[in-house]
Amino acid sequence: MPPPSCQLASGRRGRPGRPAGGGDIYGKAVRLRRVIVLVAGVAGSGKSTIGALLAGQLGWEFEDGDDLHSASNIAKMKAGHPLTDEDRRPWLVAVAAWIDQRTAAGRSGVIACSALKRSYRDTLLAGRPDLQMVFLEVIDRDTLAARLQRRHGHFFRPALLDSQLAAVEMPVPGERVTVVDDDQPPSDVVREIIRRLGLERSS
């Protein structure tokens, strides 16, 4: 199925990111150029945790892409059914709209979005030079499953993990995507993202 076109739609306001445990991992304010960072990965990879921590460190808005799903998508996942490309089409449009609205306003931000397939990533990246995409890689399925079991109150059922692992297309050389190992503490992952994207503290 062809990737969705990403028209600008009315989005919702982003939420300020909050660093886990508070404080700044560098001990002082971080000032970076304007950019939108999309944190991608399968369920249990820590997209929301890492995204919120990153946004908190940078003082940027954060949006959890899960909150942009339609009511029908949420109901489907709650019932234990994986989403199809057709189900994800309007969701990816909403994610793109959030990105475009921040870019048009000259604001930086961080958004968490699974972006499992290359077609999804290509669609989101196309025509968006300010967008930087990070894909969190977790090799161990047991680690992902354990994280999902500890997560309470979320509509994504742990039983859906295998469907995501079957659908995911890991980034390959030539994609404008930075792959980061997520098998380390969240604060270390954030440091690695900032380093790999070349987002450094002001002197």
Q: How far is CA 14 from the centre of its chain?
A: 13
Instruction: Assess if residue 133 is contained within a domain.
Output: yes
CB 136 within 8 A of CB 39: yes
Instruction: Assess if residue 28 is contained within a domain.
Output: no
Instruction: Assess if residue 110 is contained within a domain.
Output: yes
Instruction: Assess if residue 11 is contained within a domain.
Output: no
The pLDDT assigned to 110 comes to 95
Q: What is the pTM of this model?
A: 0.75
Structure token pair of residue 157? 């059922």
The pLDDT assigned to 157 comes to 56
CATH of the domain at 82: 3.40.50.300
| DSSP codes of every residue in 125-178 | HTT-TTEEEEEEE---HHHHHHHHHH--S-SS-GGGHHHHHHH-----TTSSEE
Beta-carbon count within 10 A of 90 CB: 16
pLDDT values of the chain reduced to their tens digit, one per residue, 203 residues? 444 444 333 334 444 444 333 344 444 444 446 899 999 988 878 898 999 999 999 889 999 998 898 888 888 887 878 888 899 899 999 999 999 999 999 999 999 999 989 999 999 999 999 999 999 987 677 777 676 667 655 555 566 777 788 888 999 999 999 999 888 899 999 999 999 997 744 22
- Whole domain around residue 154: which residue ranges? 33-196
Instruction: Assess if residue 54 is contained within a domain.
Output: yes
Instruction: Assess if residue 7 is contained within a domain.
Output: no
How many domains does the chain contain in total? Answer: 1
Q: What residue spans of the chain are helical by DSSP H? A: 47-58, 71-78, 85-104, 118-125, 141-150, 161-167, 186-196
Q: What burial letters (b/e) apply to 31-53, b meaning 16+ CB within 10 Å? A: ebeebbbbbbbbbbbbbbbbbbb
Instruction: Assess if residue 123 is contained within a domain.
Output: yes
